[in-house]
Structure 1
């Protein structure tokens, strides 16, 4: 008779539910569960389609273990490319803002790499702000609730060295086509970017020059098909603009620098 504490049994259960990386996921769940009862609950949640990161309570991101609670946007591996681009563009940044922060993974990763920085994160979703507050606390970060720049302390205006904004960029009509893990378990506000997917991006870029320090940069992730329009938006805002692409991670990041 096999037991649910047996890795092969857990993997078989997950595989039957459609998990492609069942063995790897089984190992992670087994390592995280503290009791057989908790293990059974975690396996059941994952088999029902809940994101692995929500089941575990954490996600690996840029070498960190970031807390991710149920209902909060899960940081994607491709967004590590945005972090790397920010570090390359502004390695001496002393003021960092993670806008549309979700779990605060981007801000935490930037602070971990940069060292002693003034770190702020903001999101319109209260659950995300609570989660981000825990993730950026080790770096002395401050988490704010509100709509984009309205959430930030006014004293940051004109001082930000890195403004990272992992905005929602899925066109409204395509949200229903997303994988069930995202569609059913992540907040709509973190996914839906409006008619063409660029509504929030436009608002971030329009306000960026006022909030960036001279030489400061704003970075936004977008899709390949939206990249040209996003670059044009950055350029029309008066920013020195370039597009960075990672074919390996399927990542497109638009970078704008205030002159």
Structure 2
């Protein structure tokens, strides 16, 4: 296939079922940088289902271009609501804010939250962690400009001990798709993204519960853990938060079509 004009690129993408064919065509043409052979290769990969973000090498998230690579979970636009809630929950007079991005993937959540909090005048300490070495490498590149360390390991096992009891914002973009529903995900996700970032176990909350079980010991007084969940998982999520001494709250956005479970440490220091 040879795609020499924008119209031909758009037609090829439309034929493959790309809903935003015009926008994607513009981005692929930009990425090809006037190299027709490269453009043909990019379009060929896209029409066979390779995620657009892998082809571009970045994803736009809350106004930032964040680097991604094959094998790394691509942050969804709905997850911007989680960051929005995290930033809104920080007291305006908090001089220092400790942010941890757990299950960080490419690091987009922590990067955007830290940037927005910094713009509000807070001094931010950002730390990220993931169990997947590909994600860790990607996040290290993205977070290097803000001097934020990225640790490799299983959830809290990856974090430095000196963070215990002083985390203000704990972001955890855990998988929440029930195992039986993974097969229903779009091919872009299930064929290209790591299963560990998609499969949340029998009811979708296996990793959620593990994070919640450990969160209270890492949060500072008034600190919160924020985790995206499905709309049908709110009751189970609240029960898990309560069981581990955290005050639960559910926030839902019709705009983002997103639901976030928030657990706050309310006991005094």
Q: TM-score range by the shorter chain?
A: over 0.9
What does 1:202-241 align with in structure 2 at a 5 Å threshold?
A: 202-241=209-248
| Equivalent residue for 1:103, pick from 103, 106, 121 | 106
User: 3-state SS of the aligned residue for 2:201?
Assistant: coil
Deviations 1:228-253 (A, max 9, x none): 11011111211111100001211000
Provide the aligned C-alpha RMSD in A.
1.3
CA distance in 1, matches of 2:172, 2:20: 30
- What is residue 244 of structure 1 aligned with on the other side? 251
- What is residue 196 of structure 1 aligned with on the other side? 203
Q: In the alignment, is the contact (CA less than 8 A) between 2:2 and 2:40 conserved in 1?
A: no
CA distance in 2, matches of 1:4, 1:173: 39
CA distance in 2, matches of 1:73, 1:205: 22
Deviations 1:100-154 (A, max 9, x none): 1111100000111112311111111111111111111121111111100001111
User: 3-state SS of the aligned residue for 2:248?
Assistant: strand
Structure 1 portions without partners, runs of 5+: none
Whether 1:24 and 2:31 are equivalent positions in the alignment is no
By how many angstroms is 1:178 displaced?
Answer: 0.7
Instruction: Give the TM-score normalised by structure 2.
Output: 0.93
CA distance in 1, matches of 2:103, 2:175: 8
- What is residue 41 of structure 2 aligned with on the other side? 41
What does 1:81-230 align with in structure 2 at a 5 Å threshold?
A: 81-91=81-91, 92=94, 94-115=97-118, 116-230=123-237
Instruction: Give the TM-score normalised by structure 1.
Output: 0.97
By how many angstroms is 1:89 displaced?
Answer: 0.7
User: 3-state SS of the aligned residue for 1:73?
Assistant: coil
User: 3-state SS of the aligned residue for 1:75?
Assistant: coil
Q: In the alignment, is the contact (CA less than 8 A) between 2:179 and 2:200 conserved in 1?
A: yes
- What is residue 4 of structure 1 aligned with on the other side? 3
CA distance in 2, matches of 1:57, 1:45: 13
Deviations 1:184-206 (A, max 9, x none): 00000000111111010000001
Q: In the alignment, is the contact (CA less than 8 A) between 1:124 and 1:148 conserved in 2?
A: yes
Structure 2 portions without partners, runs of 5+: none
By how many angstroms is 1:4 displaced?
Answer: 2.0
Aligned length: 258
By how many angstroms is 1:3 displaced?
Answer: 6.3
CA distance in 1, matches of 2:129, 2:32: 31
Moved over 3 A (4+): none
By how many angstroms is 1:99 displaced?
Answer: 0.5
By how many angstroms is 1:36 displaced?
Answer: 2.0
Whether 1:65 and 2:65 are equivalent positions in the alignment is yes
By how many angstroms is 1:221 displaced?
Answer: 0.3
CA distance in 2, matches of 1:214, 1:84: 21
- What is residue 76 of structure 2 aligned with on the other side? 76
CA distance in 1, matches of 2:234, 2:173: 14
By how many angstroms is 1:17 displaced?
Answer: 1.3
User: 3-state SS of the aligned residue for 2:237?
Assistant: helix
